[in-house]
Structure 1
């Protein structure tokens, strides 16, 4: 599953993560982190393509996806959060790997949208409670006729701008990512893969414990505490929890003395590496 984190880096930079849950070891695995200052379809296409290229460089094999692999092996589902730019970027990147089907058809085979994000969008909308109740049934509808009935009932209620909502959620890839009746994904895969991006959210929470609103360089290298190895000085303000603890300890140890910037940086690097 993939998701964008907006808290880790200070300023316009955000962190795009590729995550999965390792059932054998009961742990979250983060395959890749990409830092970006954009989120349109072209940027997402670039990030997905870059991830595929890095995967090939590391493994010596091209990324394999279940729906276009002759042996039915490879990644079978990607869970996203209903971001249109993200979905389009993914479809274009997949199309560069396999152009025997259209870019949008790739999404019908592999995409699932996070039910939590869908529920949040419904809850925060300005539609009536009656309409919201029907919207939530979209995920549970057992047949295409049931889905059609939901849209018909929403039209009948006639909330302001409800037609815009119906038009959006009748978009083939969106509808297919929320209800299996419209998806081309194998039913067993649909039922055995996650229905939300909670793994990614947990990954964000775990890494954010090390600090938020960080400098870009700090966010990249902090987990490994390799500032000395990469010769990257802590030259600008770091607001992470770790940095605040270091500063507090310095104030306790040297309450009445002045510490030169160079000496403070050396002390900081030493403490981070301990």
Structure 2
């Protein structure tokens, strides 16, 4: 794979690929995921170019692995917190002595893991103090492969499981659209964000956001008012139940019972009337909000009509010119 890549670069540029640690100039760092087979294949290809170093020594001089994938694997395995912290500390350890101490601590719990990452070319790809890449190049180069991973974002843009010819045509169409947007951005400094950001559209979206915020605020206030009144009603009823009543048998007891019943009926009627008035107020506010939403929609429709008329006028002007 790497040999084919180097041959293709030679065909396109007319000059062979060169490496700084071999030729004194050229590529000084290659960043990739820590895949053992791929890394070894790269080292073997470099060994064919320069046989004075074995494949592991070549990787120590040029290979840097992705820190993001390294940290993700540690999180997914759910190691003990102390062991996981030692594993992460390998990335920032400042000396070989400190690195060996960390490996000794990890080896007590994860011997296989420590044996794998203790290989010279692997730890050299993770820590700059073990690598032979110069410090300036190490600091300037990224510690992840996110740029390359981002290229996969558009792989399924036009669909999945397509026929070969259809996939090629759709990919060509997508590439053409992307090149057009890049050209417009470079020439007119107008970025393509995939949505309309003109002044009229921004104003319409702003009106929508304000209307939604008002609706949410009104709903929240109504809910809080209703809940507070319900809580007060429950509290008053519980207090009445908790009161101890002493009944005195007398001739006037029937009249007192009638008075108490009349008082309770009046209180119940008052609470019912309050709840009905609250419901009516809530319904009136909801209707007012709906009317506002309808007004906003009418305004948006008018704005859209104006935009369409402007577009038609522009087309007529272009045709006349």
Q: What TM bracket, shorter-length normalisation?
A: 0.5 to 0.7
Q: How much has 1:96 moved relative to structure 2?
A: 2.1
| SS of alignment partner, residue 40 of structure 2 | helix
Q: Distance in 2 between matches of 1:190 and 1:96?
A: 25
- What residue number does 2:9 align with? 55
Q: How much has 1:195 moved relative to structure 2?
A: 0.3
Determine which structure has greater relative contact order: mean sequence separation of CA pairs < 8 Å that are 6+ residues apart, divided by chain length: 1
Post-superposition CA distance 1:194-236 (Å, at most 9, x none)? 100010111111444344455566556643249xxxxxxxxxx
Q: Select the structure of larger CA radius of gyration.
A: 2
| SS of alignment partner, residue 92 of structure 1 | helix
Compared CA separation, residues 216 and 78, structure 1 to 2 (3 A):
farther
Compared CA separation, residues 132 and 188, structure 1 to 2 (3 A):
same
Q: Distance in 1 between matches of 2:75 and 2:57?
A: 30
Specify every segment of 5 or more residues in structure 1 that has no aligned partner in the other structure, as ranges: 1-46, 227-274
TM-score w.r.t. the length of structure 1 is: 0.59
- The 5 Å alignment of 1:2-21 reads none
Q: How much has 1:127 moved relative to structure 2?
A: 2.4
Select the residue among 48, 71, 77 that pairs with 1:96. 48
Q: How much has 1:181 moved relative to structure 2?
A: 1.4
Are residues 1:176 and 2:130 paired?
Answer: no
Compared CA separation, residues 204 and 133, structure 1 to 2 (3 A):
same
Q: Distance in 1 between matches of 2:77 and 2:152?
A: 26
Specify every segment of 5 or more residues in structure 2 that has no aligned partner in the other structure, as ranges: 175-321
TM-score w.r.t. the length of structure 2 is: 0.51
Are residues 1:110 and 2:58 paired?
Answer: no
Q: Distance in 1 between matches of 2:76 and 2:85?
A: 13
Are residues 1:134 and 2:86 paired?
Answer: yes
Q: Distance in 2 between matches of 1:89 and 1:216?
A: 30
Q: How much has 1:60 moved relative to structure 2?
A: 1.5
Q: Distance in 2 between matches of 1:100 and 1:222?
A: 48
Q: Distance in 1 between matches of 2:53 and 2:165?
A: 40
Compared CA separation, residues 212 and 90, structure 1 to 2 (3 A):
farther
